[in-house]
Structure 1
Amino acid sequence: MIYLGAAILNVEGEYYFNDRWSGNLEYQYAWWHKRPAFFYRLAAGGPEVRYWFSEKDFFHGHFVGAYVGVGLYEFMFKRNLGLQGEFYIASGISYGYTMPIGRRMHMEFSLGVGYMMTPYRQYYYNAGCYVYQQTKKYTYFGPTKAKVSLIWPLFSWRKRLPR
């Protein structure tokens, strides 16, 4: 839902491969531009491995995870400053909670804390040209992932209890 507010297409799939473990793969894409003063480009994605605390049902309750994200980006909101990153990488640990909000719909809340690193170029627009200024490197430690997601399961995921 956060991605929707930022006009970013987000597709995600998750698969249970054990009673309490799941693997998740997500992809985000936005390629908006209105030349010459506005660019908003992003292509990113990455895997996450999750451990679920619930023993009753798949994809319900609390979980912790480890994730890695990579991507490309370019932002220019005014003519006087643009940022273009060829590559970024972020990794960390996440905590989340998933709850049912209907018979076939779930809601997930998730927050990840970790490390992010990216080299990027600064530029500005002048007389019909994009003028390079400098290359910088940005590193960050703190929240790197926040999600509020509506989930529609494709299959029924009730665990079968042993008899």
Structure 2
Amino acid sequence: MYKMIQFRVLFFCVLVFVTFPLFAQKMALKTNALYWGVITPNAGVEFAINNKVTFELLGAYNPWTFKDDKKMRFWLAQPEARYWFCEKFEGHFVGIHAHGAQFFGGFNSTRYDGYLAGVGISYGYDWILSPYLNLEVSLGLGYAHLWYDKSPRIYCEKCKFSERKNYFGPTKASVSLVYTF
């Protein structure tokens, strides 16, 4: 059993290192510093479709509970298709993104348990800092639909009621460190 696991790990490593040169300047790993500023771990991956189009998938997760059981836990997924005006991973770009999240918690006397989904457009710029490291700034505007249960912060099944809201406005903001392969 142990030898089989070792073989699989070794096979995976060899496969990654053999195919690694095939991804040169076609893939990037990134993280959004703005999310880290509010203690939300996040990571993204972006793949080149061709020389002008890329596809990004960003994920974030906030698991923290603060003093007095105050929290706003959530997970977020935000895919985006981008068109680059110069070439991929360099200069100006525009994008179309979607977003989906699940959240629960609250900081005041109210608890929220719900979901959101929506779409938006974005604009950004990517600066090349070194052959493998870039700095990217992006801002997006769009729509999100939220549906959630609202109750006192100490959960009460009989006291909850459901709400739905529509939101129009900023849906994306990023200052990202990008490592290109």
Smaller-chain TM-score bracket? 0.7 to 0.9
Provide the rounded CA distance (Å) in 2 between the counterparts of 1:59 and 1:33: 36
Q: Does 1:113 align with 2:141?
A: yes
The CA deviation at 1:115 is 0.7
Match of 1:83 among 86, 93, 112: 112
**Could you state the TM-score of these two structures normalised by the residue count of structure 1?**
0.83
Residues 98-156 of structure 1, C-alpha deviations (whole Å, 9 max, x = no match): 0023343211110111110011111213xxx4223321111011111111111122x2x
Provide the rounded CA distance (Å) in 2 between the counterparts of 1:92 and 1:113: 5
The CA deviation at 1:71 is 1.1
Q: Does 1:71 align with 2:105?
A: no
Q: Which residue number in structure 1 is paired with residue 169 of structure 2?
A: 142
Provide the rounded CA distance (Å) in 1 between the counterparts of 2:50 and 2:106: 44
**Could you state the TM-score of these two structures normalised by the residue count of structure 2?**
0.75
- Show the 5 A alignment for 1:1-80: 1-34=33-66, 37-55=69-87, 58-78=88-108, 80=109
Runs of 4+ in 1 over 4 A off after TM superposition: none
SS of aligned partner of 1:19: coil
Provide the rounded CA distance (Å) in 2 between the counterparts of 1:93 and 1:111: 9
Q: Which residue number in structure 2 is paired with residue 161 of structure 1?
A: none
Q: Which runs of 5+ in 2 are unaligned?
A: 1-32
The CA deviation at 1:44 is 1.1
Q: Which runs of 5+ in 1 are unaligned?
A: 156-163
Say which structure is richer in helix.
2
Provide the rounded CA distance (Å) in 2 between the counterparts of 1:139 and 1:90: 9
SS of aligned partner of 2:35: helix
Size of the aligned set, in residue pairs, is 147
Residues 75-104 of structure 1, C-alpha deviations (whole Å, 9 max, x = no match): 3113x112121x210201111100023343
